[in-house]
Chains A and B, each alone.
Chain A
Amino acid sequence: MGDQSKLMSLNLKIWRQPNSGSQGEMIDYKLDGISPDMSFLEMLDVLNEELVQEGKDSIAYDHDCREGICGMCSLMINGQAHGPEASTTTCQLHMRKFKDGDTIVIEPWRAKAFPVLKDLMVDRGSFDAIISAGGYVNCNTGNAPDGNAIPIPKESADLAMDAAACIGCGACVASCKNASAMLFVSAKISQLALLPQGKPEAQKRAESMVTKMDELGFGNCTNEAECEASCPKGIKIENIARMNREYLSSALKSK
């Protein structure tokens, strides 16, 4: 703290767009006095404090928990979803990953199914719509047997947990050239397909979630694996293979 010699000056190029109906543009900002211990969002906080002091509209961006778990934060940073550090959300990215004098380009997620609301903030309601199409087990409160009634092999539970770690941030969509949501959708389908609780509805789930995904304007998967590379939670593309299997088996059985 307080080590003046380490403070950085940055050139920022940030997407500004007043609202969903208007055109946006990149605006340049110069920012001084940034500590390497700041998080990326704290750096933006500093810029916003300056803008407000000047009577200008602050830059809108989504964020909430700042612990890398809520999935609210986003941002394409120098063309990479959540910036340069692997397995890290924007809120957990720290300025020590940048150098004094760097130019940083900051843009919103860009995908047809994620319209920009303002500046760097987008509408990811389409993810909720996909989950509501089948990303659950139909088990009303009160139905459940004892938690230990169905033993689940540790390996399955661990794999299900790997898939369930998805935070629904949308980095996979933003980094895919086709704006495909397959990694997101497959993570939920996999989690439930790996567990006995999810089996009874497995077929229907895969079919209705995939149909909904297509309806909402997400693109197709062409196996570039950009989604996996950008995922802050390390969700693997094996999940997409599992989803395809579930979907195929659902398609075969329904005929």
Chain B
Amino acid sequence: MSQSNKLDAKIPSGPIQEKWDKHKFDSKLINPANKRKFTVIVVGTGLAGGSAAASLAELGYNVLSFCIQDSPRRAHSIAAQGGINAAKNYPNDGDSVWRLFYDTVKGGDYRSREANVYRLAQVSNNIIDQCVSQGVPFAREYGGYLSNRSFGGAQVSRTFYARGQTGQQLLLGAYSSMMKEVNKGNIKVYTRREMVDLVLIDGKARGIVSRNVVTGEMETYVADAVILGTGGYGNAYYLSTNAMASNCSASWRAYKKGAFFANPCFTQIHPTCIPVSGDHQSKLTLMSESLRNDGRVWVPKNKGDKRPPNEIPESERDYYLERIYPSFGNLVPRDVASRNAKFQCDDGKGVGDTGLSVYLDFGDAIKRDGENTIRAKYGNLFEMYERITDDNPYKLPMRIFPAVHYTMGGLWVDYNLMSSIPGLFVLGEANFSDHGANRLGASALMQGLADGYFIIPYTLGQYLAGTKLEKLDTNHDGFKSSLDDSSKHIKKILDVNGSKTADYFHKKLGKAMWDNVGMSRSTESLNKAIEEIPKIRKEFWNDVKIPGDSNQINLELEKAGRVADFLELGELMARDALERKESCGGHFREESQTEENEALRDDDNFCHVAAWEHEGENKVPTRHKEELVFENVKLTQRSYK
């Protein structure tokens, strides 16, 4: 496998504190009157896409916004519960931009790009200000000032929150800003659209092909730049905390058109999810990590102890996170918490009918603070838990188990958030840049909004001001051939006319991924995945069944199109995991661990981003390296003990 050096991250020179300011000053500007001459396509309306569409429209660009749901307000950012980080230091507990930067780089196990993360920490405070001004009802103290809480991976309280619905409130803030611009005619929203191809002309991203999922019409749109804010690809595992429609298709089509895919194996398995209840399970539900502030994680000390939790005395409980990690306790980062839950269950100490869960116990917190205080903090989460499991967490400990939640990998972008295709920008979870091998809690919201509100407005201008773009319309051959290819792809799926549903293949892929490319990976398991996935793919193309045609609402066709892409991406995830012969963050290679079962990095050989280049159908892609240079943070073995 070739390892060339083809990637220029375009990190500005100078001290890290000055890079972004210097870069903004050095960037070319577009005169306000000229901005309206540029059209920008934004795909996705989550925190990243929504905030980008709103901010760019405010600047005067003509924005076309696309989403798969019936309204931009429904993007899956809405489901984020716990909060959003910022380096305000309101609690006076020693936080700073530098500390947020440091914690994020360390939390990511030193596999993110320093300059990007520093910028993220710098703009974090502006995000809070902006959201407050939009009317986001953040939690407040009695004095009227903003309230903060702690989150995993940090020893300061820097998380701002709106009950357990922070993502919803931030998204509705971005959505309302979008709607304001819709009213002014600066944004045109296309709902119930699925992007099916990226159109390149003269090597630059100049538009998209989309399918109107109500009428089935295939449509083409021209722009001067295309921005993807299309989220992550956790649904490759079938069961995840992602929404049902969350998919990789937009990113995958861009990959096939030449955008490099970076670190696809970096997947976050979230420690506090409601366990699987049966084969019918269609998705998994996350319980905010903020619960670990007051909940204590434990399993019975004795293997196979089937007594109800209330009958197990203190002396026979193992609060294993507090025992192993005395300084962070229940607040260790997500990857560490998840892996330890898996170890306990592998060791036969798991609880519940399936033995695949651990307790998260609020008994002590309720004794200490009273039920009302706990209800005020987590009421809606407790209700949700009870609705799904029929157990009352005020009386019995919750049962939790890790589930696929977030993907740190994504399309490779440079410091300007531009992919390896000129004119194609990628924001939020869809890109790879800020979280390294593990994302800290309350940082996804921060990154999505940083990218959309405060970074792309500058870097897009720099690109458009410095690039010669010819006037185009959709009659251009490039649009016609993309449209033709997309229509053929859809017809090919319909023509299989086999005997199994799209979900059958999705579940089969999901199982292969969870078993072999899940919380713990080995050469053997990864090779197995690389062998198995192409077989499932082949079976799909011989035997998938889609009733109906493509000229109407056809949910099976939509699902099948997404599964076809996941069946290709899954293999790339396994390949990437196999090549990265070290453990780091959420990527745990059994061959590379310390004596205490902690992830053991190999900085000599793997202190780089792996970015994969598509080489054609059924060909092995090329792995490129972007070396990561750490000038400000010293690489150490992460320790939360």
Residues of A in contact with B (beta carbons under 8 Å apart): 1-2, 18-19, 35, 37-39, 41-42, 45-46, 48-49, 51-53, 55-58, 60, 62-72, 85, 87-88, 92, 94, 96, 117-118, 121, 123-125, 127-128, 131-148, 150-154, 157-158, 160-161, 164-165, 167-168, 191-192, 195, 197-198
Residue B354 CB within 8 A of the other chain: yes
Give chain A residues whose Cβ lies under 8 Å from the Cβ of B15: none
Is A125 a contact of B191 with CB atoms below 8 Å? yes
Which residues in A have their C-beta under 8 angstroms from that of B51? 141
**Complex: A2 Cα to B280 Cα, angstroms:** 10
**CB atoms of B176 and A136 under 8 A apart:** yes
Q: How far is the CA of A150 from the CA of B592 in the complex (A)?
A: 51
| Complex partner residue of B182 from A62, A70, A132, A154, CB under 8 angstroms | A132
Please give, as numbers and ranges, the residues of chain A lying within 8 Å of B293 by CB-CB distance: none
Is there contact, CB below 8 Å, between B243 and A198?
Answer: no
A60 partner residues in chain B, CB cutoff 8 A: 553, 555
Closest chain B residue, CB of each to CB of A96: B390
Which residues of B have CB within 8 Å of A62? 70
Min CB distance, B564 to chain A, in Å?
16
B-chain residues with CB within 8 Å of residue A71 when the two chains form the complex: 73-74
B384 A92 Cβ-Cβ under 8 A: yes
Q: Mark B153-177, 1 if CB is under 8 A from A, else 0.
A: 0000000101101011100100111
Contact with A along B126-159 (1 / 0, CB 8 A): 1011111111011111111110000000000000
CA distance A132 to B445 in the complex (A): 24
Q: Give the interface residue-count category, chain B.
A: 35 or more
CA distance A192 to B179 in the complex (A): 15
Q: List 21 contacting pairs A-B, 8 Å CB cutoff, sorted by A.
A: A1-B277, A1-B353, A19-B552, A41-B282, A45-B280, A53-B501, A58-B555, A64-B243, A69-B79, A88-B387, A92-B384, A92-B387, A94-B390, A118-B214, A118-B552, A118-B553, A134-B183, A137-B176, A142-B126, A144-B129, A198-B135
Complex contacts, A134 vs chain B, CB 8 Å = 183
* B387-A94 in contact (CB<8A): yes
- Cα A143 to Cα B126 in complex, Å, equals 10
Cβ 8 A contact of A69, one of B139, B168, B183, B282: B168
Known: A55-B547, A72-B70, A141-B457. A157 touches B277 (CB 8 A): no
| Interface residues of A, dominant DSSP | loop
A197-B135 contact in complex given A133-B183, A146-B129, C-beta closer than 8 Å: yes
> Assuming the A-B contacts A64-B69, A141-B453, are A35 and B280 also in contact, with contact meaning beta carbons closer than 8 angstroms in the complex?
yes
Contact A37 B69 (CB under 8 A): no
Contact A52 B74 (CB under 8 A): no
Q: Which of A38, A131, A143 has the most CB of B within 10 A?
A: A131
A137, B133: Cβ atoms closer than 8 Å = yes
Instruction: Give the residues in chain B near A117, CB-CB below 8 Å.
Output: 214, 553
B388 within 8 A of A: yes
How many Å lie between the Cα of A184 and that of B285 in the bound state? 26
**Is the CB–CB distance between B78 and A139 below 8 Å?**
no
Q: With contacts A68-B384, A154-B142 known, what are 20 further pairs, Cβ within 8 A?
A: A1-B278, A2-B278, A19-B552, A65-B74, A69-B165, A71-B73, A96-B390, A118-B553, A121-B553, A125-B70, A127-B71, A131-B176, A132-B180, A137-B133, A137-B134, A150-B132, A151-B145, A158-B137, A164-B169, A191-B135
Q: Mark B527-547, 1 if CB is under 8 A from A, else 0.
A: 000000000000000000111
Question: Which of A41, A57, A127, A145 has its CB near the most chain B CB atoms (within 10 A)?
Answer: A57
Is B54's CB under 8 angstroms from A65's CB? no
CB proximity of A168 to chain B, nearest CB, Å: 6
B69 touches A197 (CB 8 A): no
- With A64-B69, A144-B126 in contact, is A132–B179 under 8 Å at CB? yes
Beyond A37-B277, A148-B146, A161-B137, is A66–B168 a contact (Cβ under 8 Å)? Answer: no
Residue of B at shortest CB range from A34? Answer: B280
Compute how far the CA of A52 lies from the CA of B497 in the bound complex, rounded to whole angstroms: 11
B547, A58: Cβ atoms under 8 Å?
A: yes
Given A96-B390, A118-B552, A136-B180, also A55-B545 (CB < 8 A): yes
Contacts of B179 in A (CB 8 A): 128, 131-132, 135-136
List A contacts of B134 (CB < 8 A).
136-137, 139, 197
Q: Which residues of A are found within 8 Å of B137, using beta-carbon distances?
A: 157-158, 160-161, 164, 191, 195
Contact with A along B197-241 (1 / 0, CB 8 A): 000000000000000001000000000000000000000000000
| Highest count of chain B CB atoms <10 Å: which of A38, A134, A164 | A164
Chain A residues contacting B244 (CB-CB under 8 Å) are 63-66
- Flag whether B328 is at the interface (Cβ < 8 A): no
**Cα separation A69 to B288 with both chains bound (whole Å):** 14
Whether the Cβ atoms of A42 and B280 lie closer than 8 Å is yes
| Contact partners of A146 in chain B: CB under 8 A | 129
Q: Which of chain B's residues have a CB closer than 8 A to the CB of A136?
A: 134-135, 176-177, 179-180
Residues of A within 8 A of B135 (CB): 136-137, 160, 164, 191-192, 195, 197-198
Nearest chain-A residue to B245 (Cβ)? A64
Which B residues lie within 8 Å of A49 (CB)? Answer: 501, 503
A102 to B189, CA, bound (A): 42
Shortest Cβ distance from A87 into chain B, in angstroms? 8
Does any Cβ of A come within 8 Å of B548's Cβ? yes
Q: How far is the CA of A145 from the CA of B78 in the complex (A)?
A: 25
- The CA of A218 and the CA of B191, in the complex, are separated in Å by 22
Nearest residue, chain A, Cβ from B504: A49
